[in-house]
Structures are given as structure tokens and as C-alpha cells.
Chain A
């Protein structure tokens, strides 16, 4: 693989939020690549830093450290002015279709605003573009005259997607775009996302907490816990043979609609520790069924375990951990 296959390289990214009671290490040394034309899934429990990574990659918030190489250029080093031309190439779709659309704007104004910001079309070309976009996401061009509250959740998510597509981006961060939707509507939106990815050759960072959605949709998966990457690799490999005890626990806990799937459940004890005061060494060790004293000593590096597959666990080659991964 050459570097030009990679559209976005996130390198040692960190984001620390200063608060009254100390600094929150929301993201700490996160590294992964997004190849052109692929969908990378970012999963992990609440508070693991997924949204923060997504927002940093678009520089909607400023990283505290690390590099974001987009199409060969480090975005972190760009001035606001230089960043402007990149903004158009990268867009975000939010989880909450209810609050991410301005309730006082008509749908055509919401989409038109994005077109105007980047001066992409005017007059009749602009109107045509809006109709096209609405049709593209499966809405009636007539719908442009209406306000967001007149739409269902799934339709609002389509509007959010149309707005992101309006500027013809190459890269989209989709932050839990289907999490608030009923499954019957979720499937409609997932089909739409795939169609768009194929017809526009879009590259996507897809943030989700539903592991079966990610297994289905994503080419690669990045598993985060407390601001760090625990494991990443091609989805098929990671799901078939998870090498990190956290990924193993996560996969075993995900409920599947089949009462006969008597899987070996790994029930994790306790809760996620506070990111204000993360455990030393491996951040997962306080809940890890395989933790040993050495896990408190070093931060396990994200080491290769198979082609393109990396895991950050010092016991990843241990027979006990390996057989747990096989049993899932």
C-alpha cells in the first residue's frame, strides 16, 4: 500500500480538556489510517473519545497534540485561512437529527446555506442542485419548502446527509448517524450511506456503538477505550479473531437476535474509570479478566498481530487470551 491510498492518517492524536477539577484526557495518542473509498468504524463505550476524535479530524475542535495528515497535508499546521479549502472536502453528519437542524429554516435553506458558504452555485443552478440532493437522499424535491419538524427521524437524518453532501466532500465523519433511529428506518439509512459511498467514492469515518452495524458496514474497525486505541484492523479479521480482551468482552456482550447463540459471555466487572484519572499502564486493566501486575507498569504499544491488524495488550499472544478470542 502506498501513502497515496491513504486519505486520512491520524497520528498520535491527543485532546485534553482542562476542567476545574483537572485535565480530562479524552483522546490520548490515537493512531489509525483511513484509506480512500473505505468506511472505517470507530467503536467503544460511552466516553471513550469517539466524538472527540471525529471532531478533531475536522478541526471542529483543536487537537492538543499529534498530526492529521489529510491527502498528504498536515491539517494541524494549517492556518484558519488555509483550512477553509479543506473544510469543503470534509463534512460531518450528527447523531441527533432533531437538534442538528435549525428548526426555523426551511430544508432548502439548510442545504442552500452549505452551498452558499462555499459559493458552489447560484440562482437556478443552486435550486437545481438542492432538488438533486433531496432526490439523491430519497426525499421529494417538494420537501424543500418544509421545516425540519415536519419530518420523521429517518427523514431528518436524510436531510443531514443531504446537507453534508451539498459541498461534494471527499470525506465524511458520521457520528452515530443511525443510533437514534428505529431498526426498520436504520436499514433504509444504511442502504443510502452505501449507495452514496459507491456512487461518489466517499471515504468515511463511521462512529457507532452498535457492533453489528459496524461489522456489516465497515471495512476496518478501530476499538477505543478511555481515549486510547485498544485494537484496530480489517473488520472481518477483528470480528473473527479479536485479540484484545476489551474487544473480546465488547463482542461477547453485544446482544444478537438469536436465543440459540449461547455465546461465551465475558461479563466485565465494574464501570469505566474516570478519564480524569485513568489507570496507569493499560487503561483497561481494572476491568480486564486477564490483567496481571505487569499490566500496570507499561502502556502496551499497538503492535501488529496480523496484516493490518493491531492490538495493544501485553498478553495478546497468551494462550488464554487467544482461546477467548477464538471462542466468540
Chain B
């Protein structure tokens, strides 16, 4: 029997998802663990290719071959109280969970919206798939959903097709569709990355408000540390398929216990730090080199080739260590940071 502490909705435990490409293996996700608590937002942050999307697709069981979960568990507390290992349940059970209990939104709204149906029809169908409501009732609920995500003239918008909406509006329609079954967990994969900052601020504001109202948990995937600081309670930093640091947002931004997170924050331009009081520009401190390919990871710590603190011991793979209470770091030298 699987079990979970009462306040935890999702526990990703030593998850490993690999892509076998002929004789080569892409270890896209390799030993990733974190918890999502009820009503909390966990942000997974990392640069391109670090394994954020593969993590979320693994949780949704939406991986396409040759992607395969090769190890670990994804424990989820279902609405009926059972604790399921999502990595192991049947596709049939998974279809029931997806949409109804765990919903997902993406960077590109057209990956979830169907261009051939009106927004209203799609939300109505989603509602009726999970709850046997008469059409008129479902339509009323759909209108309320559009109002909830602040789409003006909701009644009229129900009959519009996705292409008739602006980018920000479509994004909100997608959120309305995702939330129309009251999910317990929302997985948001870069939902604001393609949007302008003023629209992004609207959507983040909206998610925060909806979370307070509905009490859902959010797993928020992004590469933008500014967005993380804005929305997350807890932060999971990924690098080359692994979690390298994890802490509460407050803690992580105050003090990084891994040279990678520290390096990331140091290289985001900040005029108050990177220009002198008289306005002269100081040079930025980039992390040298590039993110390694998950197909050819360096031996030992995968950050070592770019790390300013590298020592001979780093040729050994560091485990995720407790650097401080509730602050994890996969670095041999965390106590010096």
C-alpha cells in the first residue's frame, strides 16, 4: 500500500525518465524527487533542456516513445483518498485522473484548444466528460469559468473559436478549460513564456487568486527566475536532468547552496548591482560554457565543467544533501556557500 503524509498531494520520488535512441540513452530525468503540498505552488526552474517538461509529461503520463519512465514513483493522492503510483497505474485509470484531478496548461494554448470547436463547446464537453450535467447547466458553468479567468463578455466569447481571440485571451481560455473540472493539481508548463509582461502579470495574478479561491496545488514550470520569485512557495532547481537545489522561495533567493543557482542569479542583469552609482556598466558574470547534453553527461557532478568551485572530489557524483533544514543541494561544497 502506498501512503503519503496528509498535507502532500504529489510526491515525485527518485523519478527517472529516459529516451533510448538506438545505442544511446538520453537521461532526461534522472533521480528527481520533490513534494507538492496542498494549496502550494512549487516551481521547477532550469535552463533549456534541463528536463522540466519531461518531468511534467511523466507526471501526466503523456510521454511519447521512446520516452519511458524507467525508475521511481509518482505518488498522487486521488480525490477518493487512495494514494496511487501514477507511474504504474493503467492508461484507463490515468485518463480518469487527467483533466479531472490533474490538469495541465502549456506555453502554446493551441496544444490544448481545438481550432475546430468553439471555446464554449470545448469547456462544456470537458465538464460533461467528468460530470453528468444537462447541456444548459454545463454551459452556465462554462460561462462562469470564462468569467473566473476574467474574459470580458463571457457569454459572447463562449461562441467564439480560438483563432478569434488574442494571445492573452486564448491563454486564459486554456486556463478556464483546464480548471473547468476543479483539478486538485494544476501543472503549468511555461504558461506565460510567450506572453508580454503585462499579460504575464495578469495571468500570474489570476493563478494566485484562483489558487486562493479553489485551494488547488500548482506545479509551475519556468526558466524565468523572476516569475519563480513572483509565484512560488517552494523552488526546485534542475540542471541536466537532476534536481541540484531545493528550498522555499524566500530561502533560495536569499542564499543559494549550489554554485549553479548562485551563478544563475549572478548573471541576470540587475542595474542596481551591475552599474556603478555614476552609471558605468560593470561586466556581467556569466556561467562559462554551455549546458551539457543529457546524452553525454560529464562524469561526477554534471555542473563540474562550468563550476568555479570544482575540486577533485567533484569527479564523484554528489547526492542531494541536506545543506540546511529544508534546503537541499547536490554539491560537495554546499557548506562553503
Contact = CB atoms under 8 A, between A and B. Distances in A.
Contacts of B168: 271
A50 B206 CA distance: 29
Contacts of A213: 269
A103 B200 CA distance: 34
A215 B269 CA distance: 8
A216 B228 contact: no
A152 interface: yes
Given A152-B290, A194-B281, A212 B268 contact: yes
Interface residues of A, number: 45
Given A184-B264, A187-B286, A217-B281, A261 B229 contact: yes
B230 A255 contact: yes
Nearest to A180: B48
A199 B271 CA distance: 22
B269 A187 contact: yes
The DSSP consensus for interface residues of chain B is: helix
A305 interface: no
Interface string A186-198: 1110110010000
Interface string B301-337: 0000000000000000000000000000000000000
A105 interface: no
A154 interface: yes
A292 interface: no
Nearest to B152: A270
B53 to A, nearest CB: 15
A216 B197 contact: no
Interface string A234-247: 01100100000000
Contact of A267 (B48, B201, B290): B201
Contacts of B284: 187, 190-191, 216
A216 B283 contact: no
B229 A184 contact: no
B228 A257 contact: yes
Contacts of A154: 290
A250 B250 contact: no
Contacts of A268: 198, 201-202
Nearest to B273: A216
A216 B225 contact: no
A212 B187 CA distance: 28
B2 interface: no
Contacts of A269: 202
A152 B293 CA distance: 11
B152 to A, nearest CB: 7
A255 B290 contact: no
A190 to B, nearest CB: 6
A215 B253 CA distance: 21
Most B C-beta atoms less than 10 A away, residue of A212, A215, A255, A272: A255
Contact of B290 (A185, A259, A260): A185
Nearest to A274: B166
B296 interface: no
B5 interface: no
B196 A188 contact: no
Interface string B212-247: 000000000001111111100000000000000000
Interface of A: 45-46, 152-154, 182-188, 190-191, 194, 209, 211-213, 215-217, 235-236, 239, 249-250, 252-261, 265, 267-272, 287
Interface of B: 47-48, 152, 166-169, 196-202, 204-205, 223-230, 249-250, 253, 263-265, 267-271, 274-275, 279, 281, 283-288, 290-291
27 contacts: A45-B197, A45-B199, A152-B290, A182-B291, A183-B47, A183-B225, A183-B264, A183-B267, A184-B47, A185-B290, A187-B268, A191-B283, A212-B268, A212-B271, A217-B281, A239-B271, A253-B197, A254-B197, A255-B201, A255-B229, A256-B226, A256-B229, A257-B253, A257-B265, A257-B268, A259-B250, A271-B199
Given A212-B270, A272-B196, 10 more contacts: A45-B198, A154-B290, A183-B47, A187-B286, A209-B197, A236-B279, A258-B253, A265-B201, A265-B205, A271-B168
Nearest 7 interchain pairs by C-beta: A255-B226, A216-B269, A187-B286, A187-B267, A253-B201, A184-B287, A45-B196
